[in-house]
Amino acid sequence: MRQRILLTFNPGSSTIKLGLFAMLEDGPTTLGHAAIDLTSPPLILRMVEGGVTTEIALAAKPDSDLHLVIDEMLGLLTRHFAFDDIVAAGHRVVHGGDQFTGPTLITNETLAAIEALVPLDPLHQPESVRLIKAVAHLRPQMQQTASFDTAFHSSQSDLVRRFAIPRALFDEGIKHFGFHGLSYSFIAAELTRLYPDIAKGRVVVAHLGSGASLCALEGGVSRDTTMSFSTLDGLPMATRCGTLDPGVVIHLVKQLGWSIEHVEDLLYRQSGLLGVSGISGDIRELSASNEAPAKEALDLFAFRVSREIVALANTLGGLDGLVFTAGVGEHHPAIRDAICQRLGWLGIKIDPSANATNLPRIDAQASKVAVLVIPTNEEQVIANEAHGLLNPGQHAPHITA
């Protein structure tokens, strides 16, 4: 019997993470993972299967539509993992606006709606559109699905989602959306599976990577989050500014004569840890540096994360658990320690040994709040949602190239 293979796409601003899943009756099962960095020629496809990593250089070079890159990549994946073909593709799409509050099959109409949201996330949304179109061009009959980061936060109240601007603008869609929803969805499910008593309570999840945000969960449901209308808001990130007085933008444009394009590049690509340190947006490099601006960037990050955790605890009316996840949250004990030190007045205390070795639970016995480290898996959520949409033998819509 032919094995049905699902390929998931999780694009960043310059990288693509891939997941390969067998589509079984009771759900998708992981076969392996892969990744490609589009900024480092020659392009290297890094494939992981059963703990073994294989790297293969691609002959194709990245172009505007990615057709050659995706075509070569699909062939390499098919041969390496020894299956007949990939029959479906699931995509992470960062922004779903108000139109998409759950996963969807991709048609010409839904793709147009996704593309219309590009101005709301110029860093990630164009990459998702590019990948969807590339797959449609190369495999026009392949079923494709989209899973939206914003969808998980549609449970938030209008009070939380509203800015203090004229009501008509809220009605037009200028509101607090929230992102990293696929990660938070996975963590909510893992909390229920591993720590059901904590999952029933009030939990703040810290998704800390090159992009970073926090989410307030009550019984596993999103009640508040730090990112809002765009992926710029909230915490300072690798190259993004986080929360900023809008007056700064007005000043740059009106007084200094900057173009909107210049401002956009500054806020998305030249700010955050990179902007403060002047060295790098990578926490690993900053942690290894002896330069004072590097330390200041790390201190600012810990300060802002701890401050926003308190704000979300206020939304929840208390705090029963704190979860660290994503690249920085999972692998950087010093960052977790710096954040938790600032939260000691809330009764948060961590065990230095457990924290240093990245154990799943790092709170000290005397801590009034559970502190956990849970690896996230956005690709699994994409696969689960795609599986729910794609029924074997049922004809699903496809899009034209």
Query: What are the chain's domains?
Result: 5-148 (3.30.420.40), 196-378 (3.30.420.40)
In DSSP notation, 299-346 reads: HHHHHHHHHHHHHHHHHHTS-SEEEEEHHHHHH-HHHHHHHHHTTGGG
Asked whether 249 and 214 are in contact (CB, 8 A), the reply is: no
Cα–Cα distance measured from residue 330 to residue 55, given in angstroms and rounded to the nearest whole number: 24
Q: What are the pLDDT tens digits along the chain (401 aa)?
A: 467 899 999 997 678 999 999 988 888 999 999 999 887 778 899 999 888 899 999 988 877 788 899 999 988 888 888 777 788 999 999 999 999 999 999 999 999 999 999 988 888 899 999 999 999 999 999 999 999 999 999 999 999 999 999 999 999 999 999 999 999 999 999 999 999 999 999 999 999 999 999 999 999 999 999 999 999 999 999 999 999 999 999 999 999 999 999 999 999 999 999 999 999 999 999 999 999 999 999 999 999 999 999 999 999 999 999 999 999 999 999 999 999 999 999 999 999 999 999 999 999 999 999 999 999 999 999 999 999 998 644 444 444 44
Identify the pLDDT of residue 66: 86
Residue with tokens 């980061």: 149
β pairing state of 86-93 and 27-37 = unpaired
Three-state DSSP class for 190? helix
- Rounded Cα distance between 81 and 5, Å, is 10
DSSP element (H, E) containing 168? helix 167-171
- 222 CB-contact burial (10 Å; exposed 0-12 / middle 13-18 / buried 19+): buried
Sign of CA dihedral 270, 335, 208, 381: positive
- DSSP output for 205-220: EEEESSSEEEEEEETT
Beta pairing, strands 104-105 & 143-148: antiparallel
Number of Cβ atoms within 10 Å of the Cβ of 392: 9
CA 214 to chain centre: 11
List alpha helices for 228-291, DSSP H: 246-250, 260-269, 272-277, 283-288
CB-based burial, 112-128: b 16+ in 10 Å, e otherwise: ebbeebeebbebbbebb
The yes-or-no answer on residue 149 being catalytic is yes
User: Which amino acid would we find at residue 302?
Assistant: A
DSSP strand pairing (212-218 vs 86-93): unpaired
Give the Cα separation of 221 and 349 in Å (integer): 25
Strands (E), 132-273: 143-148, 202-208, 212-218, 221-225
Angle in degrees, 0-180, between the axes of helices 181-194 and 378-389, rounded to the nearest 10: 90
Residue 15 confidence (pLDDT)? 82
Computed on alpha carbons and rounded to an integer, the radius of gyration of the chain in Å comes to 21
Whether the CB-CB separation of 167 and 127 falls below 8 Å is answered with: no
CB of 243 within 8 A of CB of 234? Answer: yes
81: Cβ–Cβ under 8 A, 6 or more apart, which residues?
5, 20, 31, 32, 47, 49
Q: Which of 121, 149, 233, 320 is catalytic?
A: 149
Predicted local distance difference test score (pLDDT) of residue 13? 66
Q: What are phi and psi for residue 215, nearest 5 degrees?
A: -135, 135
- Count CB atoms within 10 A of the CB of residue 354: 17
pLDDT reported for residue 283: 96
Separation CA 140–CA 401 (nearest Å)? 7
pLDDT of residue 398: 44
Measured between alpha carbons, how far is 225 from 207 in angstroms, rounded to an integer? 11
Q: Which pair of structure tokens corresponds to residue 38?
A: 């589009």
Cβ count within 10 A of residue 334:
13
What is the rounded CA–CA span in Å between residue 181 and residue 215?
9
CA distances from residue 16 to 13, 70, 81, 97, 143 in whole angstroms, order as listed:
8, 11, 18, 22, 19
